Amino acid sequence: VRLVESGGGSVQAGDSMRLSCAASGQSFITYSMAWFRQAPGKEREFVAAITWTGGTTYYTDSVRGRFTISRDNAKNTVYLQMNRLKPEDTAVYYCNAVRGSTWRPFGSWGQGTQVTVSS
């Protein structure tokens, strides 16, 4: 699966933004998908995941209630709606196919999309 993230940019704290992840490959709809992020000087971290049916979602504590992950299997696209953004959300955001109860990424990483939130 080839992944292309988009939708990032620079916003003010409290603003909203929606990221998109376009995937190529027929098997996209069979994979659970997740968003990850990497802030400067930090390791990449899990943000949110969604099962292939879209019936189950999971979020890391710091974004639960503010971010919403969704997918459109007809468009081979995963979204991340981010509301009430905070400066600590600043990072490069990536999507990937995942497996297992720990949402372990197993696909190739895309180029990511930069999100910058200023206070």
pLDDT one-digit tens code per residue, 87-99 = 999 999 999 999 9
Is 39 in a helix, a strand, or coil?
coil
Q: How much is the pLDDT for 29?
A: 74
Q: How much is the pLDDT for 41?
A: 95
Q: How much is the pLDDT for 43?
A: 97
Alpha-carbon distances, residue 35 vs 6, 77, 114, 118, 119 (angstroms): 12, 12, 13, 21, 23
Stretches in the chain below the pLDDT threshold 70: 26
Is 61 in a helix, a strand, or coil?
coil
Token look-up 């909203």 returns 16
Tell me the CB-side half-sphere exposure of residue 88, using CA atoms within 13 A.
Answer: 4
Q: How much is the pLDDT for 27?
A: 74
